[in-house]
Amino acid sequence: MCSVINRVKPAQRALALTLRLRPNTEGSSYAAAESRRFCPGVSAGVDPLSATTRWYCSRMALTEGLLFRQVDSTQGALARFPCSCRPYHTVVINVNTHCHADHITSTGLMKKRLLGLKSAISKFSGASADILLLEGDKINFGKHYLTVRETPGHTDGCMTLVLGDQSMAFTGDALLIRGCGRTDFQQGCPKKLFDSVHQKIFTLPDRCLVYPAHDYLGQTVSTVGEERKFNPRLTKSLEEFVNIMNNLNLPKPKKIDISVPANLVCGVHEV
């Protein structure tokens, strides 16, 4: 086990899971000044950053002091979950739950624009990053932390990140709402995925909120209790699950040949 807080500056205790930011195209010096005022780590001399997507918040401060937002998870887009602890707002760690096959991570771009930002991903992803995470590692931000649970099966490097009080779990592509990640490319393995979900996610409390990386129906959140009862794949026996997963016959993600190599180097070269 290691404590990631030992590797970041104490004044910058905040964390974001794959937050997407784009250059501000309005060219306003006021906007730039405001951006730097609220984001003190933003590099001078580069375009200011602004979130151009709508920010959703489906969970307001049930855990004291936690700032949490769910960004742009509609229409199957990747969900991003900026988490912070009052009163800090600077993004300092950008964690990818795995080496994605369907889009290119924005972590490399963000590292170029936010001074001191660290990238993090599972050691078993094979990807380069500042912090390579392992089972049991704690990612600290303010008085909160996320614990890494390795949940391979969709890929070898898939992780589920669990908030310290076990009230929230970010399951990446391991467990989806009433579904799960496919197992027919990268290091996909139905048996590993079945074991991961049953041993590492379904052992969390029923009330634990489940935030997956994707939902193709516009659903934003589930719970461990609901998925344990109603998930049409993971309520089956191992044998039935393997059979389902081996017969999904889904088309490959359109950008897989570009995305996987890019994500192995944090989305961009030289970061």
Whether residue 87 is preceded by a cis peptide bond, meaning omega within 30 degrees of 0, is yes
Report the alpha-carbon angle 232-69-39, nearest 5: 150
- 140 in Cβ contact with 134 (< 8 Å): no
Q: How far apart are CA 254 and CA 247, in angstroms?
A: 19
Each as own residue / partner, the long-range contacts of residues 126-131 (CB below 8 Å, 24 or more positions apart, any chain) are 126/99, 126/156, 126/157, 126/264, 127/96, 127/99, 127/157, 127/263, 127/264, 127/265, 127/266, 128/264, 128/265, 128/266, 129/96, 129/266, 130/7, 131/4, 131/7, 131/93
Question: By C-beta, is 119 or 183 nearer to ligand L3IBWBLD?
Answer: 183
Residue 145 in 3-state DSSP? Answer: strand
* Least distance from ligand L3IBWBLD to the Cβ atom of residue 218, Å: 14
Listed in sequence order, the DSSP H helices in 82-235 are: 107-113, 190-196, 224-230
Question: By C-beta, is 206 or 257 nearer to ligand L3IBWBLD?
Answer: 257
* Least distance from ligand L3IBWBLD to the Cβ atom of residue 76, Å: 6
Question: By C-beta, is 102 or 226 nearer to ligand L3IBWBLD?
Answer: 102
Q: How far apart are CA 120 and CA 116, in angstroms?
A: 13
Question: By C-beta, is 8 or 262 nearer to ligand L3IBWBLD?
Answer: 262
Question: By C-beta, is 105 or 140 nearer to ligand L3IBWBLD?
Answer: 105
* Least distance from ligand L3IBWBLD to the Cβ atom of residue 159, Å: 15
Binding site for ligand L3IBWBLD (CB under 6 A): 101-102, 173, 179, 181-182, 214, 250, 253-254
* Least distance from ligand L3IBWBLD to the Cβ atom of residue 89, Å: 30
* Least distance from ligand L3IBWBLD to the Cβ atom of residue 83, Å: 22
Question: By C-beta, is 48 or 179 nearer to ligand L3IBWBLD?
Answer: 179
* Least distance from ligand L3IBWBLD to the Cβ atom of residue 270, Å: 26
